[in-house]
Each structure stands twice: as C-alpha cells, then as structure tokens.
Structure 1
C-alpha cells in the first residue's frame, strides 16, 4: 500500500517511479479519488456542525414559545442528520475505492534498481564457484540413473495431475536432509528463529503481503475461503499483522520450512519436464521485520544467508540485482540467486531476496514505537528463499552426477544422511 500523503506531495515522482515498471501514470486518478473523499468528509463535518448548532437553538425556540422557529429548527436538525449520514456513507465508499485502487498498484523501485523490462536487463553483482567441467555429457536431474526411478512423475500425475511428483527412496531422504540442513544453518549460524506455521490462511493475510487482490489467480482458494500459501512469506510476515511493537523488539528474524502451493498461472509450456516448476513444493523461507533504518543492511544480510547455503553445498551461483520490470509487485529491490544447472548448461533461479520497505506493513497496519519517542511508524519487511528445497535437490543431483550414473553428494549433508556420501547408479545411499 502506498502513502497517499507522499503521492499528494509529489505525484510526478510517483508516476515516474511506476513508469520504470512499465505502468502508465495514475496519480491523477488517485488524487481525484482522494479529493472526492476529502470533500465529502469536510462536507459531513460542516453538516454535523450545523446540526449541532440547530440542536442547541431548538431548545431556545421552544422556551421562547416560538413554535414556527421551533418547527423550522427541528426540521433542519433532521435534514442535517440525514445529510451527515449520506455524506459519511459516500466518504466511506470513496475511501474504499481509493484503497482498492492503491492496493492494486505495485511497490516503487529504489533508485539503485536497474532500469529494464525483463530478465535480460538484470545486473550480475556477484559470482561464486566455477562450473564443473565434465568428461561426459551431463544430463538433467530426472535423467540421472541414480534417481530416475525415485522421481516418480507418473504416480504424481496419477494422484494429482501434471506438475506433481512423488519422491521415493534416496531422493526423498536427500530432499529431507536438504531442508533440515537449511533450517539448522539459519537457526544455528544465522540467528533466525525457527517457526512452524499453518499453510491455510484467511484472505486478509494474503492481502497483507500483496497476493490479493491482484494476484489471486496465482494461488489456490479453498471452498470455505481459506487460501493455500504460495510461500511462508505470507504467514511469517503476517505474524505482526495489526501489531504495535516496541522498537526494542526489533529486528525480528524468522525462518520456516513449509509446503508451498502455486497455480503457475501463465506458465503453460514452461519447464514442464522434471520438477523445476511444480504446483506443490517445499521451501525454507526467511522473513525479517525491522525498523526503517535497518532495512538496507538487512537486505544484504539476508542475501548473504542464502548465498551461504549454496556455498556450503559447493554449488556455483551468481547473484543478480533485478531490473525494475522484472521485480515482484511487492518489492522495492530484489536479489535473485541463480544456481548453475549443468543439465541445462545455464543458471536458474533458486532464491529471491526482497526488501519491501513499508509497503506490506501499511497493508497490515504493522507499526512500532520509536525508542526515542514520537509517533508510531510503519515497520519495514523483507523476505527471501533460503532456499527452495526442490530446486536445491535438482542442483545437487546435476552438479554431483558421475559418468557411471551415480551422484556424489555435498560433504556437509553426510551428517543428515547417516554418514552416506553418494547415491549409487542403482539408487542406494552409500
């Protein structure tokens, strides 16, 4: 949600920032709605004052025996009362229209976000690791003999349809180990608080983080009005929905491992082979809630946390600063981590780390009391994948594949696999 006062003060800057996202100017429409709302509020206040004044004069006219004036004033009181009710209802309706309009407008990019329209305009800001040189032609994850039988897309399709998979045996255990490793690292080394959250939420929670009203088609709504979360960003961020916190309670840093659900609307024909793009997947999420003066440093810290997971796994990656046209609607700046997949001979997204400023906090009415006194202020929120577990599984399998069909696993996972370090070509942990 946007600050209407900031739009009033500098509508040109507001339109210019949205223009970087490819959105046409809208400030004139916003200000027209705002003006209509404020005019009705002022008119209602004026009518209320007139009603109160007439109410006081009614008694005086009655006491003076001036029956004609008494009747005139009594009719005026009734008239003003009806006028106040009408104007108040109209003001509420205008306020609702204004809020609905503002709620559909994406966040404004920070000045340091690159200009551009799509992923081709993103800017690389870091690269780590050197892609392995294979002495054979590497294949994609679902073609590797060690796990081909354990990535059961046929059964997933039978149970649920396209873009579902059943993991079995070594693949299932490796997937579980990756999630456990990520959570342990975030809690023990990065200082995040582990949280277990629901995966069904009320629509207000989806609104709070920006999935509603505009992006409802990307998620799943149940018949009783609950929504399946597309990411634990929804639940973790909304833990402060409606709260007024003391600044001394900040920063709040959380992590959760949850199932996530996405309809993948608009992705028909993209990444249909394998498990890169699924309707249901597991992700370890990071969310930070901070004071405004902490959010810049926190974005860098969270990016480092996600990068650290990839480095511990020995997976080559690059970090990209997304251009204005490629960012999610709620973000002011986003760093994407892209892991090297030798089966595709390209880098693919495995994490997005975004700072949202006060955009989500305004939607949630989440504020804090400054330690030095003063009026409550809106919090700043940040979120990031740390990491998408299924995509990390893909990266581990493809980067660790061997000519004989086996897979060598990252040493850091052996603790979670009973000391095992590889998956044989026959699909056994060894």
Structure 2
C-alpha cells in the first residue's frame, strides 16, 4: 500500500515468490490517499532486492487505486507484457488440466470446487480426476456467477459433478471417459489406504515423556483444528518452536472447522495427536478416535495448549480432569418468553440433557458459548433431565443468541487418577461420546 510501505506480509510474499522462482510484478495500491508515497515504497522495495524499472532495475512497479480504478488498465497491460516476454503459452486444443484452488460441500449442490484451468479446454460433460476424487462436469460457473459451457486456459471456474470434496492444491485432469477417471482415482485411494494401514503404537500427551525416554518417539506429530485461520497459524508457529534435540514437533495438517473423521484417520495413520482450539469433534469422529486410540485435546486459550505440549515434552503433564458428554440436543425453534428471555425448543438426539449441567452451544461444530443449563422443561413442567428421543425447552446461562440448527452439548468434568508428575496445565482430553 502506498500509505503503509513494505509491511511484514509483503516481505513474506516476496520470499515465497523467490522460493517458487516466479517473476515478481508489484502493484502499489491506495495511491488515491492523501498520505500516499510511492517513492518511499520503491525505496523500501529496493532494500529487499527489488529495483524498480524507472530506477534502472528489472522489477515492474505499477501505482494503482482499487477504489478509483486508476492504474488498473496499466497493470493489466504490464501483466500481458510480462506474459509475452516470458513466452507463456497454453495449448487450448488438448484435454484440460489445472489446479483445485478451493473446494467445499454445498448443502444444495453437493461437492463444489473452484478450478484454475491452466492447459487445454474444459467442457461441460468432460470426465475428470483430481486427487482421489473423480466425476463428470455437470455444470460450470465463471467468476461473475454465469453458467458457461467451455473454459479455456487461465480461466477460473466453479465446477459441479464431483464424487467427493478434493483437497486444495490437487491437480485436476480431464480424461477420455468415466472408466479411466475411476481407475486412476481408485488406484490413488489404494495407495492412500496402504499408507494408512501402517499401524504404530499411538502417541498421547499422557505417555509422551516415557516414550521419548525409551526412544519410541522422536517426533511428535500434530493435527491442528481451530475456529479461525489466524488461530491455526498462531498455534502452528508456537508449537513448532517447542522442538528440541530429543524430539521434533511437526504440524501435519492445520485447518478451520470441527474435528472430523478424516482428521482422526489422518492422526491414526500418522501416529499423531489432535489439538482443537475453540472447536469440538463431531460425534462420529469422537467415537472413531476412542476406537483408534487417537488422543484429542481441546483448548480455548492458546498458551494452555502450548504449555501442555511443553510440559509433556518435559514429562510434567498431569491431566487431572476427564470430560464426559452427557447428551446432545438440536435446537428446532427459538421462543422469546417474558421474564425469562430466550428459550430454545430442542429435540434430544443423543444421551440426556440435565438441568444445571455444564453445556456448550455449537454452531457448525464451533463453540459459540460455554456455560450452564439454567432451566429445563418438558412441555410446561420443570424437568430434572430429558432423555434421547424426547423434546424439551431449555435456557442457557447468560446467553441470548441461540439459533435454530444449533446443537446444545451437555457435559460433566470428572477427576481422574494422576498418571505423571505434578503439572499446572489445564487442557482436557476430548469427551467420549
């Protein structure tokens, strides 16, 4: 930005571009602001080895304003010029090949992926394979939301027709027919399954120190899930700093969202632990983790997670509490009651809901509130507990933002026997469903 100059994230982007050995073209934004100073930006770029062309260097620097659109045509011209100089060409007459930019599961449309076509031409009806998923293009949508039939090189499109959700970064390849796509995908799945079959003794924070001492563990692997990307990055960096000469700490996977069966399978196959920050495991994932012996740790404060892992590496971790889920209820409707406030009409789907019990409110498996159940009614009568299969009305302590579709998870914390030396850590093992 012309008013801020070269920031730490700018330096990081420069380093990534150099590591990838790709050309760098700099767009200096916000030149419409009164305190904009493009010359200062150029000087700071020069300090990082990027000499602008008007200073006799070889780095293209284009001043632009995203707000007023000033300089945008010049920026596009410079991108085209750079492509011509580098002789970047793509063969549009072959089957399409590209990269998955992002993918998600849409409730109405099923698996949806954004693909950047890099070679060839992609057409509706083409069979394709990407990673371990395959399918046939049912529909394509361009960046303006319009349905299109054909997408050439350098075109980003959203595609429908996947059999599952691929990973971002997977290579997308169009093939001759469905049979070929299925064969390639099944071969890749087989290879993935073989890797997962290599079972080893599961590592947990509780026994980590003993396993390090006996030489059974030289690397602590972590699968990290959090509520926002910033937390993922902060925790990943903090945990990696804990590596020692005796044991290295590696974050295998970090992403946003609740802990899923896929995360548990990855941890099981890799002999890793799972750390969740402000998220919860899905019920099926919690059951799978218990069967597979995968250690799931849940936190709401970053330094507690870091301290627990550090204490485990030093042999000091002492979990003294175990969390047990009593039951789960899905919010079907929300009512406003005079003198009480918000009352959630719920259907108990698992276990039982107990009045006065500790409870979390989960929205898309992310914790949005943690407190107690202050009132519980069955029809108009007060109830001490409501079992699975029945409906109830409940209120949560100091919380008035319940929405239909939320899940109320009642739980209790039990004290367990000490297994290691004294510790001040507060992390809790994941609740068993």
Q: Same fold (TM over 0.5)?
A: no
Higher RCO (C-alpha 8 Å, min separation 6): 1
Q: TM-score, normalised by structure 2?
A: 0.22
* Structure number with higher helix proportion: 1
* Structure number with higher strand proportion: 2
